[in-house]
Structure 1
Amino acid sequence: MASTDHYEMPRATFDEGPKLLIVVAPFYRAIADDLIAGARAEIEAVGGTHETIEVPGALEIPTAIGIAGRMKDFDGYVALGCVIRGETTHYETVCNDSSRGITLLGLQGLCIGNGILTVETMEQAQVRADPAGQNKGAGAAAAALHLIALGRTWGSSRKGIGFATMRDDAASS
Structure 2
Amino acid sequence: MASIEHHVLDRPSFDRPVKVLIVVSPYYKAIAENMVAGAKAEIEAAGATWDLIEMPGALEIPTAIGISERMSNFDGYVALGCVIRGETTHYETVCNDSSRALQLLGLQGLCIGNGILTVENVEQAEVRADPAGQNKGGGAAAAALHLIALARKWGRQDKGVGFKPASEYQLAGKTGTTTA
Calculate the TM-score normalised by the size of structure 2: 0.88
> Would you say 1:172 and 2:175 are equivalent positions?
yes
Aligned-pair identity in percent equals 70
Pair 22,10 (structure 1): closer, same or farther in 2 beyond 3 Å? same
Could you list the structure 1 runs, at least 4 aligned residues long, displaced by more than 3 angstroms after superposition.
none
2:112 equivalent to 1:112: yes
Structure 1 residue 96: Cα displacement: 0.1
Distance 1:3 1:93 in 2: 29
Q: Deviations over 1:83-130 (max 9, x none)?
A: 000000000000000000100100111000000000001000000000
Give me the whole-angstrom Cα distance separating, in 1, the residues matched to 2:12 and 2:174: 36
| 2:153 aligned partner | 153
With over 3 angstroms needed to count, the CA separation of the structure-2 counterparts of 1:169 and 1:39, relative to structure 1, is same
Partner of 1:6: 6
Q: For the Cα contact (< 8 Å) 1:78–1:140, is it kept in 2?
A: yes
Change (3 A) 1:171 1:100: farther
Q: Counterpart of 1:172 in structure 2: which amino acid?
A: T
Show CA shifts across 1:28-52 (max 9, x none).
0000000000000000001000000
Superposed CA RMSD in Å reads 1.6
Query: How far apart in 2 are the matches of 1:122 and 1:59?
Result: 19
Aligned-pair CA distance for 1:168: 7.0
Matched, 1:61 2:61: yes
Q: Which residue of 1 aligns with 2:33?
A: 33
- 1: CA distance between counterparts of 2:157 and 2:14? 19
Aligned to 2:102: 102
Read off the aligned partner of 1:48 and give its amino acid letter.
A
Query: 1:114 touches 1:140 (CA, 8 Å); kept in 2?
Result: yes
SS of the residue corresponding to residue 43 of structure 2 reads helix
Say whether 1:23 aligns with 2:23.
Answer: yes
Distance 1:45 1:171, change over 3 A: farther
- Secondary structure of 1:5's counterpart equals coil
- 2-side partners of 1:68 and 1:86: how far apart? 31
Deviation at 1:17, TM superposition (A): 2.9
Q: Deviations along 1:12-69, whole A, 9 cap, x unmatched?
A: 1111231000000000000000000000000000100000000010000000000000
Cα distance in 1 for partners of 2:73, 2:123 equals 37
Match of 1:164 in 2: none
1:138: which partner in 2?
Answer: 138
Unaligned runs of 5+ in 2: 159-169
With the length of structure 1 as denominator, give the TM-score of the two structures. Answer: 0.91
Aligned equivalents of 1:118, 1:172: Cα separation in 2: 46
The separation in 2 between residues aligned to 1:38 and 1:132, in whole angstroms, is: 9
How far residue 134 of structure 1 moved from its aligned partner, in angstroms, is 0.2
